Amino acid sequence: MRRTWICLTAVLLVGVIGVGQASAGESKGIHGRIWLQPAFGMATGDDKVTGEVPTDVSVTDIPLIGSVGVSLPAIAEVEFEDPVGVLFGGEVVFNRIGVEVNGVYVHKAATARGGLKVRGGVLTEQECDMLEAIGVSVADVIVAEEDVKNLAVTLGVNYHFVDNGRWGLWAGPMAVWTGWGQYDLSDARIELRASLEDVLQGSVDEFELSDNPAIAPQDALTFGASVGGSYDFADGWSIVGNVRYFIGDEVELPDGSGHYGMMSFSVGVARGFGG
């Protein structure tokens, strides 16, 4: 899959260079710009990746019931968002070839969850009905979740096939390093344990997982492509916008896996330098 995308972006770059060489005027020589752009993402691939981890739970002092002990799966889940972030970067251009570097920060790129089935899981339907008859409200499922942050660094090589006057237009391939905030089932277990005590009004004596995997994506190096444009509206200042796509990576969970990718749109203000 990655080789296919690398080949496609290479073909795109070669084609763009051919068009540009056929129609280009004189370039400006060495110049560049730095920019700040709000970025809006659209997740592609799997919206949600779900797995399960075997769990041993025992609870004592439950009203009317006393004690229960059960083995059942805890839910591990990652749901990808359509994120909003901030992009800061710039590009240096020489003879129509530009080297572009960006840093992108997103506060909420995905949501990681741990879950535990209570009705029909920890307790039977009859036990839940018994508790609700005395005024104890029992949740069907209890869930602990955490926002997952994302920091990405992109390195791209662009060809500027319009690079004169007020307008600029470029395209090229890029490499993307993506760093994710982590949230694992040990974090979720603490919250689930406390929630379970609240729901059942008892004491959780045991909440043991067969293992303790992360339920957030792992850091990854992937590839993609970008197209950008600019309009100079004042001396040294321009409006700049980009469309970027990177192919993402695999997400591995216990008994579950999936793939994420991202299309992003950004527009902002840039300050030029050089001539």
**Cβ neighbour number for residue 266 with a 10 Å cutoff:** 24
pLDDT in tens, 247-256: 999 999 888 8
Q: Which of 19-33, 100-114, 118-132 has the lowest mean pLDDT?
A: 19-33
Please give the structure tokens belonging to residue 8: 């496609």
Angle ∠(168,171,174) on CA atoms, nearest 5: 135
Number of domains in the chain: 1
**Cβ neighbour number for residue 81 with a 10 Å cutoff:** 18
CA 175 to chain centre: 16
Residue 243 identity (one-letter amino acid): V
Instruction: Provide the β-strand partners of residue 31.
Output: 93, 274
Q: Which of 6, 153, 27, 151 is nearest to 90 (CA)?
A: 153
Question: For residue 202, what are the CA distances in angstroms to 129, 194, 230?
Answer: 16, 10, 63
Q: Which of 193, 206, 174 is nearest to 89 (CA)?
A: 174
Between 255 and 164, the more confident residue is 255
Angle ∠(58,61,63) on CA atoms, nearest 5: 120
CATH of the domain at 17: 2.40.160.20
Residue 108 has pLDDT above 60, yes or no: yes
Share of the chain above pLDDT 70, in %: 89
Residue 101 has pLDDT above 80, yes or no: yes
Between 43 and 25, the more confident residue is 43
Give the pLDDT mean for 133-143: 93
Runs of H (alpha helix) within the chain: 2-23, 125-133, 185-200
**Cβ neighbour number for residue 1 with a 10 Å cutoff:** 8
pLDDT in tens, 5-28: 444 444 344 444 443 443 344 445
Q: Which domain holds residue 154?
A: 2-274
CA 179 to chain centre: 9
